[in-house]
Structure 1
Amino acid sequence: MTTTLSRSATALDQHRERNTDQAALEALRKRVAEAGVEYIYYQSVTVTGRVVGKVVPADQLVRNAEKGVQMHRTVMADFQVTRDGTLLGGGAEAAEFTALPDLDTFAVLPWDTSVGRFFCRLYEPEHRPDNGGQPLATDPRGNLRRLHAAFTERTGLELRSGCEPEMTWTGPGLEAHARPDSSPAYRLDLLEQSRPIYRKVIGYARAMGFTMIEGDYEDPGQIELNWMFDHADLTADRLITYRQICRQVARELGVRASFMPKPATGMMGNGCHHNISLWRGEENVLAEPGRRDLHLTELGRHALGGILTHAAASMAVMGPTVNSYKRYWDSGQFAPSQINWGMDNKTCTVRLSANGRLEVKLPDAMVNPYLSHAILLGAVADGLDNRIDPGEPQQGSSYDTQSRFARLPLNLGEALEVFAADEVVKNALGAEALGLYHAYKSDEWARFCGHVTDWEHMMYEEDTP
């Protein structure tokens, strides 16, 4: 039976109330039984974008809908121990958190229909006297949902987005050859060579509710498969699910699936461009009805101004790894080198494309979509509130010009410096989540700076005398 909430009901109480609705539970029980689901993953996403969780027999569905599952809070930083021996996220003595499923995220895994999954939102345990039952501050998925809901309530606008997840597939039978200084992009023969991959990925994605729309072959082993844009919260969930699908397909086919941003020197990087638009009901307010030319409304220009103003500070999230910054060093390979915008200009940080979409080209294939969309929401809100002017669009190539906006950070260390100093970014992620992410990535940068690489051996091992 459902319970009556008191005035002091916590966020956890409210979520439990929704999850114990008898009609919703009965419909879900029926779906689980008809699909033959025996086990269910209760999954969450860490600050780095890693999927974590627990598996529970399906006959515990009603119990878990109300109680959720418990995990140690340091999992939100992947149980990472820093170089000085600190366990990030609170240490071994820190309290666990409660992961409560969002019932509308249930899906059956199409590669094994005996298994289902939920996405969960995370809460402080009830017994904590100061913040028991409140949202876990380091839960990136829960934060995005709350931030987006508040943005919509305040502005009447909804952020919709579509991602372009590039990735590299390697293994037997996937070798690709191209002429020197030429690209194999769009070659149908290589797409056909990859047919076992795209058939399985698209098939599994459709079974999990994606509307798949198109895909292509772009560089040796690099395939991009796209699905229909949607509410930003759903797009973020689907990107996480897409990565899980790709990893499963790789296991089945005996090949490797990598989202590494820059697989090799001279190769195209793996990006994850975010195509965003702002909607009031079913109207995209970035575009003016009836116009066929590329044009931004005044509201759209202010939103764009906010994105460009905070682009440098967003880089620690958009390019989240040491390897990410190799992608921005190779000019002419469609990755931005200046913070600017242009009309259908693929050299720019933000490209205005058809139908009033802003293509943000900074995010790469390892981006945490909950963090990236949260920062974009914060930047858009700042642009709207302060009527920020993006300036005139870039004409021609960006690779030999200078921007009026802040310089694009060119390594993770530089990116972390401006990341921590930006109040809009801090407010979008929350101080605790930003602090945990900053600590994790600072340790990653320090480890890299202290590591001797093959490049250093090649350059210096026998260089003197």
Structure 2
Amino acid sequence: MMSEDVIEKMDKLKVKWVNLQFTDVVGILRQVTVSRRLLTHEAFENGLGKLDGSSVKGFTGIEESDLNLKPIKETFAVIPWLDGVGRMICAVYRGDARFPKDPRYAAEALDSMLKSNDLKAFVSPELEFFIFDKVTVAIDTWKQIVEISSSEGHWISSAPFNALKEGYYVTYPNDKFEKLKKSIGETLENFFGIAVEVFHHEVAGASQHEINFRGGDVTSTADAVQTVKYVVKAIASKEGYIATFMPKPLYGDNGSGMHVHVSIWRNGENLFYDPSDEYAGLSQYARYFIGGLIEHGRALSAIVSPTVNSYKRLVPGYEAPVYLVWSKANRSAAIRVPAYHKFNNNSKRIEYRPPDPTANPYLALSAIVLAGLDGVKKKIDPGDPVDENVYKMDPRRRKELGIKELPRSLDEALDELETDNEWLKPIYSNELIETYIELKREEVRKLQSYPSPVEIFTYINY
């Protein structure tokens, strides 16, 4: 697509303002709104110097704060809930060079590296989220109040409602948001070009949902994740609701994950597929890829499960993986080989289950692929598949099998990432890795300093 084509399209659609969007290091989507008049051919070529990097946590200091936003033409879309407003995702530049801490740059670099080796990653995430009627939060030195209202939740006084863990695939009226999800799907398809394939109610009773869309390479899929989150939250808000991708907002019910399906292709051939493999139709290449995920899974956790709250989801009993094992169709395993169609070249893939949707998708998707490729490069044996429920396995047997657990906290995961990150360095700069760890350490320190309501309830009488 040429810049002239986008300019012509904006004029035809009477776009007067454009939201230039980019993603910061921890994954927050940010934007600046500019006049359509500023989006000239030169702006597409050289970028717009509209970004103060020192005001974006983790980007730059005040002594080197001027950054450029270069719009990605292919991401242009009209925002249907705003008259005369479009949006484009941007690449971040410092002068004429890519800014090394722009997360999108990592995804682009990975796709380019794969292409130079005649390879292509196909990744497809499943995004889970909650829709609440109202969320009230008050935090002070002497007061902490959190109240979540859900008209689908079991704690409401009138039916219909959903019991804990009884929300999977429920229909209207138990699924109150069927119409809203349809609106989300149509908006994503008709205005943002995202091919939505499935949406449904998820397991958590109090209005947990899932949306699946057609995947692609790492960069375009990460763009799509940010767009889906943006649209879901915006449309929910317009209808008076709160959509959240927080992994574990409710005690006692399932949390929200972002399971990532991955396959690697060369010239139209799925390198993960081997019809002679009787267990799962899986190639040796794919097994080595799984080996890389297991080898680096504890460090990878800091990127794909990146919040303090993430580790409240990663506990036994809520369909969230805790153990770094692989299996066919076993949902207690961190790496699952979907077995809906065992011998199908096009659909053969692995599903990496630890991630959640608070992850920065540019970093998370690229890190998953890099961990797997390191396993291929080093021919890391993943061990035998584990087809039994690992949660119910005797601890001595888990120890005999050498089964590794995911970290139990973000701090522990960051410790792992600090000592195991060489596999990221073909793509990630040292500057990006160090900044990411520093920002996340600061997040942990801040949240750990607050006593939670449940701690006060438990310990106040000591």
Please, what TM-score do these two structures have when normalized by structure 1? Answer: 0.86
Q: 1:216 to 1:290 in 2, by over 3 A?
A: farther
For the pair 1:204 / 2:187, whether they are aligned, the reply is: yes
Indicate the residue corresponding to 1:381 in structure 2: 373
Deviation for aligned residue 1:286: 0.6
Q: Indicate if the aligned counterparts of 1:375 and 1:428 stay in contact, CA closer than 8 A.
A: no
Deviation for aligned residue 1:425: 3.1
Pick one of 263, 267, 270 that aligns with 1:284: 270
Letter in 1 for 2:195: T
Deviation for aligned residue 1:437: 0.7
Deviation for aligned residue 1:399: 1.0
Indicate the residue corresponding to 1:30 in structure 2: 8
Matched ranges for 1:213-252 at <5 A: 213-218=197-202, 219=204, 220-252=206-238
For the pair 1:167 / 2:129, whether they are aligned, the reply is: yes
Deviation for aligned residue 1:55: 1.1
For the pair 1:144 / 2:129, whether they are aligned, the reply is: no
Indicate the residue corresponding to 1:436 in structure 2: 435
Provide the rounded CA distance (Å) in 1 between the counterparts of 2:98 and 2:281: 40
Provide the rounded CA distance (Å) in 1 between the counterparts of 2:82 and 2:36: 14
Q: 1:74 to 1:404 in 2, by over 3 A?
A: farther
Q: Indicate if the aligned counterparts of 1:313 and 1:425 stay in contact, CA closer than 8 A.
A: no
Deviation for aligned residue 1:54: 1.5
Q: Tell me, what secondary structure is at the counterpart of 1:48?
A: coil
Letter in 2 for 1:39: W
Letter in 1 for 2:402: R
Indicate the residue corresponding to 1:69 in structure 2: 48
Q: Tell me, what secondary structure is at the counterpart of 1:40?
A: strand
Q: Tell me, what secondary structure is at the counterpart of 1:144?
A: helix
Indicate the residue corresponding to 1:5 in structure 2: none
Deviation per residue, 1:434-459 (Å, 9 max, x gap): 11110000011111222121122111
For the pair 1:364 / 2:334, whether they are aligned, the reply is: no
Q: Tell me, what secondary structure is at the counterpart of 1:310?
A: helix
Deviation for aligned residue 1:359: 0.6
Indicate the residue corresponding to 2:119 in structure 1: 157
Provide the rounded CA distance (Å) in 2 between the counterparts of 1:399 and 1:426: 34
Structure 1 stretch 178-187 or stretch 350-359: which is displaced more? 178-187
CA RMSD of aligned residues (A): 2.0
Deviation per residue, 1:220-244 (Å, 9 max, x gap): 2101011112222211100000010
Matched ranges for 1:292-331 at <5 A: 294-329=280-315, 331=316
Provide the rounded CA distance (Å) in 1 between the counterparts of 2:409 and 2:173: 33
List runs of 5+ in structure 1 lacking aligned partners: 1-22, 80-87, 126-132
Indicate the residue corresponding to 2:77 in structure 1: 107
Q: Indicate if the aligned counterparts of 1:324 and 1:364 stay in contact, CA closer than 8 A.
A: yes
Provide the rounded CA distance (Å) in 1 between the counterparts of 2:67 and 2:162: 54
Deviation for aligned residue 1:190: 4.7
Q: Indicate if the aligned counterparts of 1:191 and 1:216 stay in contact, CA closer than 8 A.
A: no
Provide the rounded CA distance (Å) in 1 between the counterparts of 2:389 and 2:220: 34
Matched ranges for 1:126-137 at <5 A: 133-137=96-100
Provide the rounded CA distance (Å) in 2 between the counterparts of 1:31 and 1:436: 39
Deviation per residue, 1:349-370 (Å, 9 max, x gap): 0100143111100111211111
Provide the rounded CA distance (Å) in 2 between the counterparts of 1:349 and 1:444: 26
Q: 1:31 to 1:293 in 2, by over 3 A?
A: farther
Letter in 2 for 1:65: F
Provide the rounded CA distance (Å) in 2 between the counterparts of 1:190 and 1:309: 45
Structure 1 stretch 306-315 or stretch 277-286: which is displaced more? 277-286
Deviation for aligned residue 1:212: 1.1
Q: 1:34 to 1:443 in 2, by over 3 A?
A: same
Q: Indicate if the aligned counterparts of 2:75 and 2:89 stay in contact, CA closer than 8 A.
A: yes
For the pair 1:420 / 2:418, whether they are aligned, the reply is: yes
Deviation per residue, 1:327-371 (Å, 9 max, x gap): 112x12111111111101111001001431111001112111111
Q: Tell me, what secondary structure is at the counterpart of 1:446?
A: helix
Provide the rounded CA distance (Å) in 2 between the counterparts of 1:226 and 1:357: 16
Deviation for aligned residue 1:298: 1.0
Q: Indicate if the aligned counterparts of 1:286 and 1:297 stay in contact, CA closer than 8 A.
A: yes
Deviation for aligned residue 1:107: 1.4
List runs of 5+ in structure 2 lacking aligned partners: 135-149, 155-160, 340-346
Q: Tell me, what secondary structure is at the counterpart of 1:214?
A: strand
Provide the rounded CA distance (Å) in 1 between the counterparts of 2:372 and 2:37: 44
Q: 1:57 to 1:180 in 2, by over 3 A?
A: closer
Q: Indicate if the aligned counterparts of 1:43 and 1:120 stay in contact, CA closer than 8 A.
A: yes
Provide the rounded CA distance (Å) in 2 between the counterparts of 1:462 and 1:206: 55
Deviation per residue, 1:263-308 (Å, 9 max, x gap): 1111111101101111113222111359896221011111111111
Indicate the residue corresponding to 1:269 in structure 2: 255
Deviation for aligned residue 1:427: 4.4
Indicate the residue corresponding to 2:93 in structure 1: 123
Deviation per residue, 1:152-180 (Å, 9 max, x gap): 313x2111111110000011774233676
Q: 1:183 to 1:356 in 2, by over 3 A?
A: same
Please, what TM-score do these two structures have when normalized by structure 2? Answer: 0.87
Deviation for aligned residue 1:407: 3.1
Q: Indicate if the aligned counterparts of 1:109 and 1:115 stay in contact, CA closer than 8 A.
A: yes
For the pair 1:345 / 2:330, whether they are aligned, the reply is: yes
Deviation for aligned residue 1:151: 2.5
